[in-house]
Amino acid sequence: MFRAKLPPWLVLLLPAFIIILAVVAIPLILSLYSSFTPYHLTRPDTLWKWTGSFNYIKAASDANFWKAFGRTVLLLTIALNTEMLLGLGLALMVSKVTRGQRALRTAMMFPMMFSPILVGFQFKFIFNDNVGLVNNALQSLGLTDVAIPWLVDGNLAMFAIIFAEVWTSTSVFAILILAGLFAIPQDPLEAAKVDGCTPWQSFRFVTLPFLMPFIYIAMAIRSLDVARAYDIVQVMTNGGPARRTELLWTLIGRTGYVDARMGYANAMGYIAILMSIGFTIYFFLKLQTARRELGMGEM
């Protein structure tokens, strides 16, 4: 009797393929299918009612969806640029340290080691109206007589969320930019000194162009993180007050698990994924451009 024999490499990889199929592929296919149905968690029979692109059209005309999208882009823009500037400054300072640099590099990584949920609870306490450290410090210094409603006022609540995001992820930029600083060849810097360039001109026209590929890599990584921000916002404000800090993924979570409209939530989720891919492609193209300008060729 003929018996098919699997190649050894496939036998070794088969458990991994089975796990990926069970944990990733099947849920992904099911969620994609349910996005074309009116699936409601309390009515399982709705999973088998095909409605086509109705959920996607509904999301495209939903004002709450586009408001959440605008807040997500605002958070992404402010957080990425602030983290880049702070990370650049931190990396430049650490690169000048001659003793204890390894300890500093390790300390820089501490904020990114904390769970986003833990960071959310930490800053929820720091910005608390009554017992928060920020209000207590401001009142002790005499800068204000009343408690500032950091997490109740919509604009201040968004500032608090951005502050928490920047605190926890600036080290991503700092570590990658520091790696770029160590990789810069010394010949162009020495040539700039010989030509009489000032420190600022050397940084602007020599150092910074070499660092741009590392900055775009960090931005690509962080754009994906910020675009799917959920934990910190959910813990600190739960999207409030009055949805003033509602982001894409907090809106999707509320729609799917609170309102139980899972089909509609999955449709919004796939739209958000496509937008995240768009940001990634943008930063990847900028990375390729920066590499070509340095004569590094294609990736």
Confirm whether 10 is domain-assigned. Answer: no
Q: How many domains does the chain have?
A: 1
Confirm whether 281 is domain-assigned. Answer: yes
| Number of other CB atoms surrounding residue 259 within 10 Å | 12
Confirm whether 282 is domain-assigned. Answer: yes
d(CA 173, CA 222): 9
Confirm whether 6 is domain-assigned. Answer: no
Confirm whether 24 is domain-assigned. Answer: no
* Per-residue model confidence as pLDDT tens for the chain (299 residues): 456 677 888 888 888 989 988 888 898 999 999 999 999 999 989 999 999 999 999 999 999 999 999 999 999 899 999 999 999 999 999 988 878 888 888 888 888 888 889 999 999 999 988 888 999 998 888 888 888 889 988 889 999 999 999 999 899 999 999 999 988 888 888 888 888 888 888 888 888 888 988 898 888 888 888 888 888 999 999 888 888 899 999 999 999 999 999 999 999 999 988 888 888 888 888 888 887 877 665 54
pLDDT in tens, 63-95: 999 999 999 999 989 999 999 999 999 999 998
Confirm whether 80 is domain-assigned. Answer: yes
Question: How high is the pLDDT of residue 32?
Answer: 92
CATH number of 132's domain? 1.10.3720.10
d(CA 138, CA 120): 21
Question: How high is the pLDDT of residue 3?
Answer: 62
Q: Are 252 and 203 in contact (CB under 8 A)?
A: no
Confirm whether 145 is domain-assigned. Answer: yes
| Number of other CB atoms surrounding residue 198 within 10 Å | 10
Buried-exposed string 28-38: b where 16+ CB fall within 10 A, e elsewhere? eeebeebbbbb
Confirm whether 184 is domain-assigned. Answer: yes
| pTM given for the model | 0.86
| Number of other CB atoms surrounding residue 79 within 10 Å | 23
Domain that holds residue 62: 55-293
